[in-house]
Amino acid sequence: MRDEKKEKTRLRSIDAFNRASTSYDADFSKTHLGQYSRARVQERLDKLFRPGMLVLDIGCGTGEDAIHLAQRGVHVIGCDYSPGMLDRAGEKIRKAGLVKDIELRLLGIENLAKLVEELPMGFDGLYSNFGPINIIDDIPAFAKITARLLDPGGKALHVVMNRRPFFETVYFLLHGRTHRAFARWKGRAYVTVGGFPIESRFYSPSEITRHFEYFFSVERVEALSIIIPPPYLIGHFRRRRKFYRRLTRLDRWMSPMPLLNSFGDHFIIEFSRNEDMVKAAS
């Protein structure tokens, strides 16, 4: 019964992301706030991954990050469980002339172990952007399989929806919506994707660190959007565009600071593979 319910939830989630795929870039990637957040993440990806590396994009969506890296000489395997998202990604990859540089796989996070069996070599690095981790049931199992996917010295970067988002909390408190202000603080809430409610889990950087610490060492934590609106509040941003643009530099300056880096809408967390622990678990 539990497995049947889990499968229904998974299929509902896939359907939601299929529906969202048709407007995802317009609703997020091409907005000012979406571009700001993605550019921040891509700055870190460029620091970690060099031309010639083989990198895994987990939950690649419409392929924005894979295309960015491939244009810089990184070979990318992008996986997603949504055929709709992969269709959009494929169209963009063909248009960019990067078919030889990016390989797409219809593969859910729960099936990443298949890559260990299929590929003759490991990855130099891997990443997930804008919350694939937040819909995973078993984070420690995910940490273990991603450690196995990496070659020695491999790096991992994950962008996670934060449990205690400062701007969202203050915004909804000021609008008298207390329940909404603290929805994420409980650790679980529903987010709307493609018109469907999808149950998501929310984490602090310290919680993610505990889940990953057996197989990985934390290298860096950086917040995304502490004092500027998250991308879903684009209407609020547009009405105060000049004000928030002035805050952008301050937001960037605050983002890597200890304590403050725990209060963004998302956070970027970077890991290096813990070689001793991986060997012990093999």
Q: pLDDT tens digit string along 195-215?
A: 889 999 999 999 999 999 999
Who's near 72: CB < 8 A, 6+ residues apart? 46, 51
**CA separation for the pair 119, 112 (Å, rounded):** 11
Query: What residues pair up with 127 in beta bridges, in sequence order?
Result: 57, 157
Rounded distance, CA 203 to CA 111, Å? 23
Of 30, 110, 114, give the one whose Cα is nearest residue 77.
114
Residues with Cβ within 8 Å of residue 52, at least 6 apart in sequence: 73, 74, 75
What whole-number distance in Å separates Cα of residue 235 and Cα of residue 135? Answer: 26
pTM listed for this prediction: 0.96
- In this predicted structure, the answer to whether residue 8 has a pLDDT above a threshold of 90 is no
- Three-state DSSP at 155 gives strand
Q: Give me the percent of the chain exceeding a pLDDT of 70.
A: 98
Domain topology for 2-281: Rossmann fold (3.40.50)
215-233 residue pLDDT tens: 999 999 999 999 999 999 9
Question: Is 71's pLDDT higher than 90?
Answer: yes
pLDDT at 2: 63
Buried/exposed code over 92-104 (b: 16+ C-beta within 10 A; e: otherwise): bbeeeebeebbeb
Residues 5 and 182 sit within 8 Å (Cβ to Cβ): no
Residue 272 CA to residue 249 CA, distance in Å, equals 28
Domain residue ranges of the chain, discontinuous segments joined by +: 2-281
Pick from 79, 89, 72, 77: nearest CA to 29: 89
Give the C-alpha separation, 134 to 136, whole Å.
6
Strand-pairing partners, residue 106, are: 80
Burial of 272 (0-12, 13-18, 19+ CB in 10 A): middle
pLDDT in tens, 80-96: 999 999 999 999 999 99
